[in-house]
Structure 1
C-alpha cells in the first residue's frame, strides 16, 4: 500500500484511522502488525485485504490496483486471491471439516482439487477429522479448519485478524507454528494483526502502528524485544 489514509465520519466528528501509511509486504514472508488499541491495526488489514476502501492512497495486490475494482470484482478478488483467518473461527456449524474448508470454492463455482485438499488437510493435521463438525473439534482444531479454508483457493496472501486471540497459550503456539510452516513450507504470504508479543515473534517482520501511522518495524523479533517496543509506544502503561 502507498500513502493510504482512511477517515471515518465527516466534519467535526471525523476520525483518521490511517494517516498516509506506506508498506510493502514481500511474497513468501510472515508479517505481524502490532500497536495499541485504536492505532489502526484492523483498518490497515481491512484496506490491505480489500475489505475496506481507503479515503486516499493506493493498495495493490500483485499487479492489481484495488481502487480500480468495482464491488463485484473486489468480491471475486477476496474469494480467489485472498485468504482470511479470524479470531472467531467463523465456521458453519452444520458443515463438516471438508465442507467448511471447500466453502470458498463452492461459493465461487470452482471445482475442488482433491489432491490439493488432501495435501492441505494433511499439512494442518486434520486428515483424520474430515467428517467431523465444528462442535466435535477443539478450539485449536477449529482454527486449523479456518486456516485450511484460507489456503484452499491457493491465495496470494493470507490475512489473520488476531487468529490466536481466542486460544490458550499452548494451542496458540501450535497454530502459530502452523502459520510459520505455511510460509516456510508452502511459500505462502501471511499478514497477521496481533496484540501478543509471543505471536509476533513467529513473524519475519513486525510493523508497529501508533495513531494511524507506521512508527517502527522490527526484523528477527523476539517476544521480549516486541514487548519492550510496545511499552515504548505506551500500549501497556
Structure 2
C-alpha cells in the first residue's frame, strides 16, 4: 500500500513556512549565497507575489519553497510537514499531490488533448479523476468547450489556462507560479492573473508567484521583495505604481535591511 504524507500542524495557519532558509552554491572562495537566512510564511488562502532584481534569489527561493531544491540550511514546511525530513520518494509524492506548478513555458504534451493534459498528474499518481471536480476546474478556467482540442489548436492564453487547470486538478495546498504571464501579451496575461486571483478567492487555495511585472504583482494580496538573497520588504494590497516605485528604490531598502 502506498504510504501517504500526512499534514502536520502547529504552523499557525501557514500553507508554507520557511525558517532561516539558506542556499549556498559552490565551496570556499567560490561559494555564492543565493538565499541568506530567509524566514517567511505564506498564510493559507492568500496570493503572494515575489519580486526582486536579477540575481536576487527569486528562482532559488521558489525552488526551495516548492521542494524542488534542498536548502543548505534552515527548514521548509508544507502544511506542517518538514520537507528536509522526507526521503526522495515521499518528497516526490508530496510535490505531486500537494503542490501545483505553473511556469512561463506551458509544458503541455502536444499529443494529448486538453482533457488528457489536465488529468495527467492524477493518472501518473494512479488516481482516478473525480469527474465533478475536473468539470468544475475546466469550467473555472473557461475550457469546457476545448477539452478535445490539442495544444497546437489553442492560443497562448488558452494553453496557460490548461496549465493552471492541470495545477489545480490535484487540489494542491499551494500553487507556485514562475513568471506565469511572461510569455503572454498584456491582455491575455491579465486574464490569467484574474484567474489566479479567482483561484484564491473562489477555492481558498494559496498562490505564490514569482514575477518581474508590477502590474502582475498588483493582483496579489502581498508583494515580497528580495535582494541579495534576503527579504528586504513587502507591500500589502499594493498598486502597480507602488510596486514599481519600490523596485526602483530597492537598493536603498536592501541597504537599510542589512543595517
TM class by shorter chain equals: over 0.9
Post-superposition shift, 1:234? 4.6
Given that 1:33 and 1:194 are in contact with CA atoms closer than 8 Å, whether structure 2 keeps it comes out as yes
Deviation at 1:12, TM superposition (A): 1.5
> Which structure is richer in relative contact order (CA contacts within 8 A, separation 6 or more)?
1
Output the aligned Cα RMSD. Answer: 0.9
Does 2:217 align with 1:200?
Answer: yes
Structure 2 counterparts to residues 133-172 of structure 1, below 5 A = 133-172=150-189
Unaligned runs of 5+ in 1: none
Q: How many residues align?
A: 235
Structure 2, unaligned runs of 5 or more: 1-17, 253-259
Give CA deviations for 1:113-166 in whole Å, capped at 9, x if unaligned: 000000000000000000011000000000000000000000000000000000
Runs of at least 4 residues of structure 1 off by over 6 A?
none
- Measured after TM superposition, the shift of residue 13 of structure 1 is 1.3
**What TM-score does the superposition give when structure 1 sets the normalisation length?**
0.98
Q: Give how far 1:87 is off.
A: 0.2
2:193 aligned residue (168, 171, 176): 176
How does the TM-score come out when normalised to structure 2?
0.90
Residue aligning to 1:89: 106
| 1:25 lines up with 2:60 in the alignment | no
Structure 2: distance between partners of 1:164 and 1:181:
16
Partner of 2:22: 5
2:122 equivalent to 1:105: yes
CA contact (8 A) 1:36 1:234 kept: no
